[in-house]
Amino acid sequence: MKLNWVTLKVSDLEKSMRFYTELLPLQVATKIGTDDHQIVFLGKDDSAKVELIYEKGGNVENAGKGVSVGLECDNLDQLVDKLKVNNLNVTGPISPNAHIRFFFVQDSD
């Protein structure tokens, strides 16, 4: 079995796109839809994707509750600094053992 994507419903696609493409940064793999309903897949072509779904006038229920997406980066400290400079609340870095370091940050939804 292979993981293909994780879906997140968003209330403001442009704000979410800025977070995921400029601050993290993930690349746009596919973008489809109309002004009223858009789907954007983020990530490299050969990897699992983060799927953002936007529906105009739609309600994002339980936003951010029980969802955690793990991403790998080249320089964790540099990314944490970048997120903090952009006024995002970062928890961590956390290092539960000598082989792993991670942090938590919330997106706009």
Indicate the pTM of the whole model: 0.82
- Tell whether 61 is covered by a domain: no
End-to-end C-alpha distance for the chain, whole angstroms: 29
Average pLDDT, the chain: 90
- Decide if 91 contacts 103 (C-beta within 8 A): yes
Identify the CATH number of the domain in which residue 74 sits: 3.10.180.10
- The 10s digit of each residue's pLDDT in 47-87 is 999 999 999 887 777 776 777 888 889 999 999 999 999 99
Domain range for 10 is 5-56+70-105
- Band of pLDDT at residue 100, cut at 50, 70 and 90: very high
DSSP letters, 1-55, are ----EEEEEES-HHHHHIIIIIISPPPEEEEEE-SSEEEEEES-TTS-EEEEEEE
Q: In total, how many domains does the chain have?
A: 1
Three-state DSSP class for 97? Answer: strand
- Tell whether 64 is covered by a domain: no
